[in-house]
């Protein structure tokens, strides 16, 4: 009987769906569309489409971050930070940053480019491919006490203090 109970428990655990982040525009590689326009890069700087599913119970809002751990800064590079995304939202459309079509209440904060909004990939020319980690965070609060001009380190700290669970995908980009 005990073995049967354990097997049922394992089966229900395996059947549970995981918090997942996906993108119709990112297929493992970022393109010229997601390359920054500036800093020596000449891309279109279009934020990608992102969608997520199976948020954990207790999610009150979401945050989305994009981070390049390979940037030659010693501390990586924050490319996009969005907080206060309502809990009933499960998608960010392509180009939402520039078009200002983020979900109502969502707030973009300052990136390492010094501006709020999506800042695309711009690895140094000739450098190896950089990893861009796109992460959606399920948060336990409806909103974080930050402003658009709050620096990325503080925003990251606040996000991490309230993350219930997170889902990530990695995309790569290299300039020739």
pLDDT classification of 27: cutoffs 50, 70, 90: confident
Domains and CATH numbers, the chain: 17-173 (3.90.280.10)
Mean pLDDT of 22-41: 93
Element (H, E) at 153: helix 152-162
Number of other CB atoms surrounding residue 74 within 10 Å = 5
pLDDT at 16 over 60: no
Alpha helices in 16-151 (DSSP H): 96-99
Number of other CB atoms surrounding residue 58 within 10 Å = 11
pLDDT at 75 over 80: yes
Which tokens belong to 47? 């934020």
CA distance 122 to 120: 6
Average pLDDT of the chain is 91
Strand partners, 139: 61, 163
pLDDT at 51 over 80: yes
pLDDT at 14 over 50: no
CA distance 33 to 97: 13
């Amino acid at each position: 009987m005990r073995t049967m109970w354990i097997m049922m428990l394992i089966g229900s655990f395996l059947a549970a769906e995981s918090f997942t982040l996906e993108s119709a525009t990112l297929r493992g590689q970022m393109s010229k569309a997601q390359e920054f326009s500036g800093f020596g890069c000449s891309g279109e700087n279009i934020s990608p489409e992102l969608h997520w599913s199976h948020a954990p119970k207790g999610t009150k809002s979401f945050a989305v971050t994009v981070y390049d751990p390979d940037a030659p800064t010693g501390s990586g590079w924050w490319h996009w930070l969005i907080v206060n995304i309502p809990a009933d939202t499960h998608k960010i459309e392509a180009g939402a940053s520039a078009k200002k079509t983020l979900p109502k209440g969502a707030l973009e904060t300052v990136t390492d480019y010094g501006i709020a909004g999506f800042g695309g990939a711009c690895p140094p020319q000739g450098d190896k491919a950089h990893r861009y980690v796109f992460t959606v965070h399920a948060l336990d609060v409806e909103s974080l006490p930050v402003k658009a001009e709050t620096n990325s380190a503080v925003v990251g700290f606040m996000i991490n203090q309230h993350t219930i669970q997170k889902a990530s995908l990695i995309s790569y980009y290299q300039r020739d």
